[in-house]
Structure 1
Amino acid sequence: MSANPDFIYQPPMSPYLDVIFHDDDILVLNKSSGLLSVPGRLPEHQDCLQHRVQRVFPSATIVHRLDMATSGIIIMALNKPAHVAISRQFEQRKTKKSYVARVFGHIKEVQGSVDLPLICDWPNRPKQKVDHDNGKPSLTHYQVLDHSDYGKQSALSACESTLVELTPITGRSHQLRVHMLALGHPILGDRLYAQGQALTASERLQLHAKTLSLAHPVTNKWLSFDSPCPFD
């Protein structure tokens, strides 16, 4: 059973690749919304960031992923030692990441945290859900950036929205999307979790991986990368 049976994969072609930085060990890219990070099982789901990158950088390997609908910064390794070193930083939560999202409604608190365990909603996969008995610990901090009405300049329905900065402490699948939903503020344009105005207010998921900081796998120099938010 699919949670989104009407989905047709139409990956964006421009830009085909958006490289922010690269050296002999790492490659940092800005992934477009609508592009898979890795290939899917079906033949029509083979076009993805990994395959596009490997045509130019054949040794590149995926270290972490972004949801297909999420845009923003993603890092790849260009050799095995770099892959091991970067993976270890992610596993030990030494990397620093922040996202920007536009969510439905008016979040009253200026900042806060969502500490809710998550597990795969198996009958509705790939959806995830809160499960206090069996879920894995999941923590997200949020900071309100702005309140506004969104959608008035388009044919889509306008709605009250909040622009938030999200900092995931853990890295569960769909963590930010489900945590915002649990607050009662689904991310605009979320085809898996949003309904009504929250779904129709945007043609894309309004979630963007804006910053990533980590130690270089060889020099150990602290690096910070930033990608401007396309819907801010």
Structure 2
Amino acid sequence: MSDLFIYQPPTEPWLEVIYQDKDLIVLNKPSGLLTNPGRGPHLADCLLSRVQQQYPLAQLVHRLDMATSGVVVIALRRKAEAALKLQFANRSVSKRYLAMVWGTLAQTSGSIDVPLIADAENLPKQKVCLQTGKTAVTHYTVLQQLTDRALVELRPVTGRSHQLRLHMLHLGHPILGDAFYAHTEALAAASRLQLHAASLQLNQPYNGERLSFNADSDFVTAAGTLIV
């Protein structure tokens, strides 16, 4: 992070719990809060540390970017942690994101299969690299087309860093409010990154029951209704 960056994570609500059982806790992370701690004491406050205040053994099984809001699953027991991480690794977890993007999309739905790699000279940014990038696949559907922007549903098959942000940029439609990748107009069009992890489905690690979690954000509901 830049030396000019001032971390001021939201504190109200302190934690928004969607679901909890003996194995896991599911939360709606706000934009602006780190999922896991950064380097240095000034970046120690994060979703995980807040959960660990009550559940010291809690561990992450996946992450969202600081600027992204939405559903995050945290394991409360070691066995649950291993089982949940395996589900993410073998791609049996279903994830659905909602985003406001710049411009008018040429197609109402499609798939983006463009490999990504870390941008070594501009970390933590990532970039498209057709030669040595890792496979990255995203399915998208336009839910609502407005004059200069669109609400899209994004369903990632893979989970590369900044995947959704870069894939929409690759289409020529950066996500509004994206401080890393949006052009000037798209950046100024929103006060925060307009990317929200709206829904997630996985199997309960003990009994195998399929669980589904949904979360609203400050700009769109989990069902895809814009909040004006």
Q: Indicate whether the TM-score tops 0.5.
A: yes
Match of 1:194 in 2: 182
Q: Paired residue for 2:55, among 35, 54, 57? A: 57
Letter in 2 for 1:161: R
Q: State the SS of the aligned residue for 1:214.
A: strand
The alpha-carbon deviation at position 56 of structure 1 amounts to: 1.6
Q: Paired residue for 2:214, among 205, 220, 226? A: 226
Match of 1:210 in 2: 198
| Unaligned runs of at least 5 residues, structure 1 | 150-159
State the percentage of identical aligned residues.
53
Letter in 1 for 2:108: V
Alignment coverage as a number of residue pairs: 220
Check if 1:164 corresponds to 2:152. Answer: yes
What do the CA deviations read for 1:103-130 (whole angstroms, capped 9, x no partner)? 0111121100110000000110000000
The alpha-carbon deviation at position 6 of structure 1 amounts to: 3.4
Q: State the SS of the aligned residue for 2:155.
A: strand
Letter in 1 for 2:149: S
- Trace 1:51-200 onto structure 2 (pairs within 5 A): 51-149=49-147, 160-200=148-188
Cα separation, 2, equivalents of 1:113 and 1:5? 37
Cα separation, 2, equivalents of 1:120 and 1:88? 24
Letter in 2 for 1:82: A
Cα separation, 2, equivalents of 1:32 and 1:56? 19
The alpha-carbon deviation at position 229 of structure 1 amounts to: 3.6
RMSD of aligned residue pairs (Cα, Å): 1.0
The alpha-carbon deviation at position 85 of structure 1 amounts to: 0.5
Cα separation, 1, equivalents of 2:3 and 2:170? 24
The alpha-carbon deviation at position 79 of structure 1 amounts to: 0.5
Q: State the SS of the aligned residue for 2:121.
A: helix
| Unaligned runs of at least 5 residues, structure 2 | 221-228
Letter in 1 for 2:95: K
Q: Paired residue for 1:31, among 17, 21, 29? A: 29
Q: State the SS of the aligned residue for 1:102.
A: strand
